[in-house]
Structure 1
Amino acid sequence: MAIVKKFIPIDEVKAGMKTAEVVFNNNGNVLIWEDVVLDELTIERLKSIGVREMAIHIEQPQEISRRAYVDSPERFKLEYTLDLNKTKKMFQTIISGGNLEIEETDTIVESVFQKVDSNRNIIDSINQVRSIDEYTYYHSLNVSMLCMIIGKWLRLDSVHIKNLVKAGLLHDIGKAKVPLEILNKPGKLTESEFAEMKKHSEYGYLLVKNNGSISTEIARAILTHHEKEDGSGYPLGLTGDKLNLYSKIITVADIFDAMTANRVYKRKDTPFKVFELMQHGSFGVLDPIVLNTFLNNVTTYYIGSQVRLNTGEIGIVVFINSSNMSKPVVKVGERYIDTSISNIVRIEEFI
């Protein structure tokens, strides 16, 4: 038998079942964590506060047994490296003057899509050390995976989720048309260089728009993934009502992965710093439904993380407050430090 995740109505949930995802209330507060064995009292409480369905670990016949090795960290790392090399080849073919090889692209999409339930491995891969000079390849693959899990958290169907994988993978494909001396410049871009860099979304759109294997919705998302809800983005200055859902999802995934990565011109921020900027600094810029869905889910995977405080102490994150996700409660030895109320202690580094 293989263990899979399945959403089932609360009336069908039985004592002894184990949760497969965190359950939140309407305010974004955690009601029950992932991997908790349920009892009758807990189930009744969840019913009483309006929970209608939840994700449960279910045993299924061995016909889907390939999931067992896909979810293994070792297998995931191996396949991630293979997909990364294929992504690099996809870009280099275009840099060399070739066309987008859609069969090779679809191979990567299928490989990513089979990991749809590998949330923990995906989050861990985002946090890994990356080669700075190959940032674009890592970023494209990571954004495709983040788009996939955001789509899942939004309860989209498998067709839309697979489209999101492809859109995320190709969102920066236009950078293959940007000169490498601009793309990998270690210092600040000049005004003209920045103007050229900003054309990558248009270049990407032109690369895919006439490809019959890429839908209009995906092509449009590639074109508009730097647009913002308030119309302050580029290249068209569109407002949120003119953007499709794929574009809104890519924007959130793109920002999170970019800010948590070392770049040629800046060092990465800690995930907690990024949570702060996204939660409190993106009003009117990011779609609130997509953003809150992402933050309410992704932050739970950082509980148990080791962090270094500005005091030099090493601690473990034990609780994340949904109203202030960047300032969790950290356990140091036998002490609990609530960084949201401390004027002195803050997280310096994610370990």
Structure 2
Amino acid sequence: MTLYFPRRKFVLYGSATFATSLLLKACKSSQTTTPTVSSSGEGFKIAIALPGMITDKAWNQSGYEGLNLAKQKLGAEIAYLEQVAQADQTEALIDFARKGYNVVFAHGGQFDAAIEQVAPQFPNTFFVGVNGNNKGENIASLRIDHLQGSYLCGIISAAITKSNKLAYIAGQEFPATQEELRGFNLGAKSVKPNIKITSTFLGDWNDVAKAKSATLALISSGTDVIYQWLDSASPAVLQAASDKGIYAFGNTKDQLDVAPKAVLTSAVKRLDIAIAYLAELAKQKQLKGQIYNIGLERKDILYLGKFGAAVTETVKQNIFKVQQEIVDKKIIFENCQEAGKDTRCVKKA
């Protein structure tokens, strides 16, 4: 049974009886951020706060699927809150902590400041920032190594482009997107050192009109391959690329089916498996206050999706070779400084 509560009523009525919950469901407010509680009665409680919609077929849906996979594997009680605006992040995390959730996932690096503020107040709740950069007594971060996946996509881009103009589009600029842009840059320039990469940060992960407009502007300037990381707005980029006869990459989910003529492949990030893994560690009381980095060595979590027709067999075989070299640590991405900034550079063993 799933119970629905308006967000401001969640703290007050989270343990209401079934009859009361039905009344609340019938009177549900019209606001878009609506927590959902699903119970299996096992005593271990997991929650997730999401910046977007669970139906975006991208980042937020993957987080939601991770919550449900954890419920399935661990028999946990779960709750989620979608479309959490930045101004509401602290309140959302406090709501979950006050209700006694053992582990609370905050699904995006934009939650870092809220986690730092809330976690010290609730030492019995473990907070996990997905794409975060925090660690502490009851704070962990789950990081997919976006640089490794985008490095492979950069190599593919360099093999495909005719204009030698590539672009990266993302919702916000923060460490995870900077890392992904860096990998795309390194991969492309490992093939064509003089290739040009333009980056655009829209300030919104879900604004379809803004994503389409930015894509068309890039195409008009000569860009013929685009790597995007958006949520609900990602299909707008992929479809615009298809309409204009250029190429693009899917992200998080395998998005080849969104625009088969345009998508070269997707940087698939199985956040559902990664989230369930950390939730299991939490239940076993083995979750530590550290940053958990997961790369291509976990082939069930980070990998390239189905390839589009434009990717030749020769390019595929080269990608498989490079991927294995990364796993075998023959290609290493080590910390370095470039133009006075901390970043990562390629080192070959």
TM-score computed with the length of structure 1 as normaliser: 0.26
Q: Which has the higher contact order (CA 8 A, sep 6+)?
A: 2
Higher strand share: 2
TM-score computed with the length of structure 2 as normaliser: 0.26
